[in-house]
């Protein structure tokens, strides 16, 4: 799928926090010790992520990675999830915006894309990183996510599609609004 614009590569956000098909990799929000978070719970409809990742094998692999710093990303296999790989990234906790939170969130996306490029991955699914209990302002987080995604898609033709898995209607609506506003800059979501 070459010669596609960033707007054509960015797929529609999906509702329910769970990607609807298989991808080369999913991005998972994690804690510094790589305790698996939302995508694992959504993917298996189980209330506790530790149960899910222990059963599927990811827990053991995460332990070998020795944690992850905020703004960085690490890769594991996808095991029983609908992806070949999982890229775990640690998003920042919002502390009012004066502690580098914006740059750390942007770094989550850049680090995830760098891992995807280095492993030849072509389709991605991102959650709304840091928008839950980490209290990052939703509209600002969405703006950063789409800005970093647009920049990546403009500079690298290897990635064919990016989907944003939205965990509720509010997040979904925010992505839709922001994508429409950014369409003048060459990226949009149908």
Judge whether 5 lies within some domain: no
DSSP string, 85-145: EEEEEBPPPPSSS-SSHHHHHHHHHHHHHHHHHHTT--EEEEE-TT-STT---HHHHHHHH
- CATH code assigned at 17: 3.40.220.10
Tell whether 119 is covered by a domain. Answer: yes
> What's this model's pTM, rounded to 2 decimal places?
0.76
Residue 74 lies in a domain: yes
Angle at 169 between CA 167 and CA 172, to 5 degrees: 75
Task: Output the tens digit of pLDDT for each of the chain's 190 residues.
Answer: 445 555 455 555 555 444 445 555 566 666 665 444 444 444 444 433 333 444 455 556 666 667 788 999 988 888 777 788 888 888 999 999 999 999 999 999 999 999 999 999 988 889 899 998 899 999 999 999 999 999 998 888 888 888 888 888 999 999 989 988 876 344 444 4
Where in the sequence is the domain holding 111, given as residue range(s)? Answer: 10-183
For residue 2, being part of any structural domain is answered with no
Whole-number pLDDT of residue 113? 95
- Evaluate whether residue 52 is within a structural domain: yes
Residue 135 near residue 89 (C-beta atoms within 8 A): no
Identify any residues that bridge with 74 across adjacent strands, giving them in sequence order: 88
In a domain, 189, yes or no: no
Total count of domains within the chain = 1
17 falls within a domain: yes
Predicted local confidence at residue 175, as pLDDT: 92
Q: Does residue 29 lie in a domain region?
A: yes
């Amino acid at each position: 799928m070459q010669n596609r614009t960033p707007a054509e590569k960015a797929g529609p956000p999906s509702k329910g926090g769970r990607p609807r098909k298989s991808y080369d990799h999913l991005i998972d929000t994690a804690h510094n010790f790589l305790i698996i978070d939302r995508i694992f719970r959504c993917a298996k409809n189980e209330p506790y992520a530790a149960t899910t990742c222990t059963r599927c094998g990811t827990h053991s692999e995460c332990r070998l990675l020795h944690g992850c710093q905020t703004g960085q990303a690490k890769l594991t296999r996808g095991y029983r999830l609908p992806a070949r790989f999982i890229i775990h990234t640690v998003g920042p906790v919002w502390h009012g915006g004066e502690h580098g939170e914006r740059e750390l969130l942007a770094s989550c996306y850049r680090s995830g894309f760098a891992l995807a490029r280095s492993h030849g991955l072509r389709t991605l699914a991102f959650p709304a990183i840091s928008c839950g209990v980490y209290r990052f302002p939703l509209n600002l987080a969405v703006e950063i996510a789409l800005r970093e995604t647009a920049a990546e898609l403009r500079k690298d033709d290897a990635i064919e599609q990016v989907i944003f898995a939205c965990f509720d209607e509010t997040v979904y609506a925010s992505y839709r609004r922001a994508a429409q506003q950014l369409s003048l800059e060459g990226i949009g979501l149908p």
